[in-house]
Amino acid sequence: MVLYLIGLIPIITALVWLRHRVSDIIIRRAGGARAPVLAGNLLSASKLYYEIGKNQYHNRLVDWCTSQLDSLPPGKRTFAEFSLTGSKRVLITRDPEQIKAILATKFPDFGHGPMWHKLWYPFLGDGIFGVDGQLWHDSRGMIRPMFSKDRLRNLAIFDACTDKLVSKIPSSGATVDLKDLFYRWSLDTTTEFLLGENAGSLEFPIAPLVPKGDYYRGIKRIEQFIEPIIARTLAICPTRLQELSKSYMEFSFLHSIALYTRDPKLIRDQIMSVLFAGRDTTAATLSWAMYELSNYPVMWTKLRKEILHKLGPQATPTYEILKDLTYLKNVLNETLRLHPAVPLNMRQVLETTTIPGRSGEADIVLLKGDSVTINVLGMHTCADLYPPTSEHFADLKIFSPERWEHWTPKPWTYIPFSGGPRICIGQNFALTEMAFCLVRLAQQYEKIEYRGDWTAQKLQVDLIGTPALGVSLALYKPGEEQDSLSKHHID
């Protein structure tokens, strides 16, 4: 048996070599070239795939992708490819022109692909994030109306949920994991917006939406919550739904979808998709924002000063005021630069196509069935795409909202919400929601303090990038810190 397996090795090696040569011929006939190859034979490719598995297991895949590009020769550090068998290739890219082609100019040639749809079907079904082509186009049209600016001007949902969030933050000096509260808060705001009914997770914590263990039971638990609400909505006659659409206070995302379709499965799939995206991305970004700000007291003071100048300690922010808070916008922009919600964005090549190569060189040919990994975080921190470090422009790895006062990213070098036709349809909703929450926290708390080893924090990525160690903080209202210090001194 051992001799038989050993005898297979040269046959497999020859087959892989042959597949690579066939790909070379197809690529040349298409008038283009390969990307730089990270692994050129079966042995090196096997070692590379072992490293991928190991880094994925230890939650370091994003860093691994960046390090592979960094290891290339100078001037060639923006994209590369690899393949185990020679038949299906993977391109890793942080090249803005390639990303523009993948997400926009060559949009029809790329998608999530059938494997993605199969993998996520139990959870997302035929919702917007699990499909391509006409199904995606129809989903986009169904969802778009509820994310108009006019709909977002009503901030009552954010107000009530954020008041509940603040009420859950303990007294001065006590440690609280804000990440946990943010995930519960964002679930409540998202279900209120989508369904018109609040999940109440700030009062009664529930398990994560996509448990790592019992996946299907986790999905069933969500369905038990949303399906009765869908049934009640479908019991409303279309004429009444049309009447509700004129009321920002009563009309929900669910009502809007029910005007398009009476199919409960299709409604369920769209709700699941937007619930997942709306909850996890917002909570993760707010967690990163408070993590970063806790290390820079001067920034928290500056943010609070801007907010108090515009609103004072109690006034409720309006949509227009939120958009006018410049430093707050810079804080969110910088958080999304260093901590994009989706650090790695995957696409499959649906049709053989080309994307730009390096300046003055041939286009890169991608064959049907190949995959692309867009290294969003790697691009956001690629020194070649930024000004040199100076007095007004901090090192790229440092959190610095101030850099946005003197600098605007070049097109397609900053894509926290993706880009092209598939750009995040809810980005304005998310930015408004996050801004509202940060305003409320800054109004209430004069100082914030990180509890634990700030430098030990790690990036955890399933699909969304989140702080692996939580965000443990102490928050102090004006005058409370001294009281707390005095109490600890007396004790």
Q: Which residues are annotated as a binding site for heme?
A: 424
Q: How far is CA 380 from CA 234, 261, 298, 315, 340, in A?
A: 44, 40, 24, 35, 9
Binding residues: 424
Dihedral, CA atoms, 471, 476, 477, 480, nearest 10 degrees? 160
Gyration radius of the chain's alpha carbons: 25
Residue type, 235: A
Selection from 48, 29, 28, 52 nearest residue 37 by Cα: 48
Does the CA dihedral 308-309-312-318 come out positive or negative? Answer: negative
Structure tokens at 62: 């994003």
Of 403, 263, 430, 254, nearest in space to 330 by CA: 403
Task: Output the CA torsion sign for 432, 127, 367, 14.
Answer: positive
One DSSP character per residue, 108-128 reads GGEE-HHHHHHHHHHHHTTST
| Diameter over CA atoms, the chain | 81
